[in-house]
């Protein structure tokens, strides 16, 4: 029941964002955004569907987001969210440019933490902090498209993680921008341990002043740490001083908001100042109750654009 309530509230949040007159239209939410119309085929579970992530009026198509979750094997109710909309719209963007109308063939989609540990133990290329576990990633190929060419096209946009292990398949995720090939994948490297590669993402790329922003952490190696209850907002490319500071909705009077599990790391929210001027910004979280000294002290989000 708790899972059902959680995803109901998240669905209401998406619908509110889509209908609020002060909000940016869903069809303009991301910097790289295809039409959202795709033919997805998961070669692991034999599920496939044609989806249209935007309704004719430009709002999000909740039913087809749920269909994508089904294709990806993503436990929507348990997670309280969908497969990353940012990743899906970027996937649509690149597929429409590289192979318009062709099927997106998925070799690997969502992985539970238990399954990720299992395939790592078998020696497969799977990172301990894999973005597959947060619904941010897929490994895929497009009919008639060379894998190295696809990798290079996505890499040039510097919009997420893109990996190529040879052949026609690439890994793509909506995590921090980075790229690799088989020799440089680093899936066995201890570098991501101790929460050294934490990534902070906003739910969208474009907002209006006064809108609520959802912040999510990914690439977490160890839970049971905390974040300070305030979010600092900086002009993109100019980290000091902050132009504004807002409070997390989860603060509840504490000076250190606990992040005890994956779900807690995915649902942090704050409201942008109503008088925030237009421009590009990054949002900063500061960590507390760190379980080890190697962990990052703070993390900056992806750039966002505020439109007045």
> Roughly what angle, to the nearest 10 degrees, separates helices 147-157 and 85-98?
120
Could you tell me the residue range of the domain that residue 135 belongs to?
A: 2-184
Q: 222 and 155 in one domain?
A: no
- How far is the CA of 115 from the CAs of 78, 122, 124, 133, 245, in angstroms? 16, 11, 12, 9, 39
Q: How far apart are the first and last CA of the chain?
A: 39
The yes-or-no verdict on residue 19 having pLDDT over 90 is no
Q: 116 and 24 in one domain?
A: yes
User: What kind and span of H or E run contains 10?
Assistant: helix 2-19
Q: 288 and 179 in one domain?
A: no
Model-wide pTM > 0.85: yes
Q: 213 and 81 in one domain?
A: no
**43 in Cβ contact with 55 (< 8 Å):** no
User: pLDDT class for 21, splitting at 50, 70, 90?
Assistant: very low
Domain end: 149, 184, 219, which one? 184
Domain end: 153, 184, 215, which one? 184
The yes-or-no verdict on residue 24 having pLDDT over 70 is yes
For 174-215, write each residue's pLDDT tens digit: 999 999 998 786 665 677 789 999 999 999 999 999 999 999
DSSP 190: S
Q: 218 and 98 in one domain?
A: no
Residue-level pLDDT at 189: 67
Over range 24-29, report the average pLDDT. 85
Domain end: 184, 206, 227, which one? 184
d(CA 216, CA 266): 4
Percent of the chain predicted with pLDDT > 90: 82
* CATH number of the domain bearing residue 282: 2.60.40.1930
Domain count, the chain: 2
For 37-62, write each residue's pLDDT tens digit: 999 999 999 999 999 999 999 999 99
User: pLDDT class for 16, splitting at 50, 70, 90?
Assistant: low
Contacts of 302 (CB under 8 A, 6+ apart): 200, 201, 202, 205, 282
d(CA 78, CA 4): 8
Nearest partner of 141 among 70, 62, 234, 43, judged by Cα? 43
């Amino acid at each position: 029941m708790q899972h059902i309530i959680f995803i109901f509230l998240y669905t209401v949040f998406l619908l509110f964002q889509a209908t609020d007159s002060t909000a940016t239209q869903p069809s303009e939410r991301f910097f790289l955004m295809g039409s959202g119309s795709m033919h997805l085929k998961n070669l692991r579970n034999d599920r496939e569907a044609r989806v249209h992530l935007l309704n004719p009026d430009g709002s999000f198509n909740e039913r087809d987001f749920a269909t994508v979750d089904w294709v990806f094997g993503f436990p929507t109710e348990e997670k309280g969210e969908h497969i990353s909309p940012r990743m899906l719209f970027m996937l649509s963007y690149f597929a429409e440019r590289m192979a318009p109308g062709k099927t997106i063939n998925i070799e690997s989609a969502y992985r539970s933490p238990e399954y990720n540990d299992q395939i790592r133990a078998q020696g497969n290329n799977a990172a301990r902090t894999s973005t597959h576990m947060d619904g941010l990633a897929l490994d895929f190929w497009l009919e008639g498209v060379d894998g190295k060419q696809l990798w290079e096209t996505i890499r040039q946009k510097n919009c997420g993680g893109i990996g190529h292990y040879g052949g026609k398949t690439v890994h793509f995720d909506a995590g921090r921008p980075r790229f690799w090939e088989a020799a440089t994948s680093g899936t066995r490297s201890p570098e991501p341990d101790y929460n050294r590669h934490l990534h902070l993402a906003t739910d969208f790329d474009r907002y209006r002043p006064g809108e609520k922003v959802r912040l999510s952490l990914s690439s977490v190696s160890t839970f049971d740490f905390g974040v300070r209850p305030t979010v600092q907002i900086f002009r993109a490319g100019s980290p000091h001083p902050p132009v504004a500071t807002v409070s997390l909705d989860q603060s509840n009077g504490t000076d250190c908001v606990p992040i005890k599990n994956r779900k807690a790391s995915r649902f942090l929210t704050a409201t942008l100042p109503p008088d925030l001027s237009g421009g590009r910004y990054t949002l900063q979280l500061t960590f507390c109750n760190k379980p080890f000294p190697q962990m990052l002290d703070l993390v900056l989000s992806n750039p966002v654009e505020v439109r007045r």
